[in-house]
């Protein structure tokens, strides 16, 4: 099962707007994707409630895992998204 680790770049971490954008992107993949904090249990990355409940701060690494055809490409795009400061767009 493909897996990626990425540091969350958004200033507020994985909360509110960044969490919404991330879970929408996960849903668009059509694949089962999980997200986990270091040493934590993975949760459904498509659920905004689960993602926000992780309480991931800015700069912390998370691990994404996906299963199915196209999982590597899906994870690559999700990693690119999390590595971007999604709050910066809000200021524009």
Candidates 10, 15, 78, 86; catalytic one: 15
**76: which residues sit within 8 A by CB, 6+ positions away?**
4
Active site residue 90: no
Alpha-helical segments (H) within 1-92: 16-29, 48-53, 71-82, 88-91
How remote is the C-alpha of 67 from its chain's centroid? 15
User: Which residues are paired to 4 by β-bridges?
Assistant: 64
Residues designated as active site: 15
């Amino acid at each position: 099962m493909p897996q990626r680790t990425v540091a969350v770049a958004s200033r507020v971490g994985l909360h509110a707007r960044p969490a919404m954008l991330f879970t929408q992107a996960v849903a668009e993949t059509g694949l089962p994707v999980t997200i986990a904090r270091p040493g934590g249990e993975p949760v459904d990355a498509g659920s905004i409630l689960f993602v926000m409940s992780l309480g991931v701060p800015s700069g912390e690494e998370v691990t994404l895992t996906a299963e199915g055809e196209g999982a590597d490409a899906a994870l690559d795009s999700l990693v690119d998204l999390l590595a971007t400061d999604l709050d910066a767009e809000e200021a524009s």
